[in-house]
Amino acid sequence: MRPTFSTLACASLALLGWLHVAPVAAQAPELLDASLGPVTVDTRWIEGTPRRAEIDLSRGTTRIPLYAGRTVRTASAVVGEIVAVAYFHGGPEPFAGVVLYDLAHTQRREIEIPVSGAASPLRPAGIVIAPEPDSFAIVMQEQQADVQADVHSVFGRLALDGTWRAAPHTVSIPWGLAALAASTEGRYELAVLFGGWGGGAAGEARICIVTLSPGGEPTEHPWWASASAALTDVRLVQTPRALELYYRTMDGALRRHRFAADGAWGQEPAAADRVRQLGPSQGFYLHARPDGEIEVVAP
């Protein structure tokens, strides 16, 4: 099986309970390992009235505009030469969608993800995307302004030509989204964030993992996959031998857990491996070597 990679579109510090957070005005560039060479997705917020956003795709010295409009948060993935950027806007006129860009043929497509709409108290609040051999799996989440209130999640599968292989549909995912990876037998692994209630755990989150069915429904309760920490840049990688979890802690360390089997709720995992020290704004991507090992590339 080809390893699959996922990036996230939600902030990383814990609030209360299962973590749900509103967008912030800065998002680090996302680096992707495309078949034609590494590319960077850069989402910028531009001050003004109203505040706006631009999304560019960079390959070498070439910058390709993908989006310009209302402020959005993004999550990106790549299959071969097809880059997918999923995005959402959670303001008074909410929307969500995906931009597909074919690097080989310089073609752009934009696909809408349905949201509850302005009349609903729900607003888009998080999105994750994972590549499959011939499609992208997406989980998008809406929530009410009160982080303890209702949450609505949808799951869909988008083919590389921009048609829905499985149209977005409601699934029972109430937890804060962190990362998604395609797994075995058509299933998925979803990383979610569980936050502290104050005291020593304030400002921290614990990553938990839950397996999803081929239709995107949870098949178990999430289990603990990391220690509680202030963290960001959560990535999941399914390799032939193990599920690998990567994340960056506030000291700049990129850490990794490898799981050959599920853990358990309430059970601390083994200590994470410290695989790389990163600069404050240094990006990275995960490259699958021919031997199945994952290499961290930090330009």
Nearest to 240 by CA among 288, 192, 191: 288
Query: Which pLDDT score, from 0 to 100, does residue 64 have?
Result: 97
Cα(166)–Cα(201) distance, integer angstroms: 39
Is cis: bond before 92, omega within 30 of 0?
no
34 DSSP assignment: E
Per-residue pLDDT 10s for the chain (299 aa) are: 344 444 444 433 233 355 544 334 457 899 999 999 999 999 999 988 888 999 999 999 999 999 999 999 999 999 999 999 999 999 889 999 999 999 999 999 999 999 999 899 999 999 999 999 999 999 999 999 776 678 999 999 999 999 999 999 999 999 999 999 999 889 999 999 998 555 455 578 999 999 999 999 999 999 999 999 999 999 999 999 999 999 999 999 999 999 999 999 999 999 999 999 999 889 999 999 998 899 999 98
Cα(173)–Cα(154) distance, integer angstroms: 8
Instruction: Enumerate domains of the chain plus CATH numbers.
Output: 4-297 (2.120.10.10)
Query: Which pLDDT score, from 0 to 100, does residue 48 have?
Result: 87
Amino acid making up residue 229: A
Q: What is the pLDDT of residues 234-272, one digit of tens each?
A: 999 999 999 999 999 999 999 999 999 999 999 999 999
Give me 78's structure tokens: 């790549």
Give me 5's structure tokens: 């990679």
Query: Which pLDDT score, from 0 to 100, does residue 200 have?
Result: 52
CB-based burial label for 76 (10 Å; 0-12, 13-18, 19+): buried
Cα(87)–Cα(129) distance, integer angstroms: 10
Could you tell me the pTM of the whole model?
0.90
Query: Which pLDDT score, from 0 to 100, does residue 28 have?
Result: 82
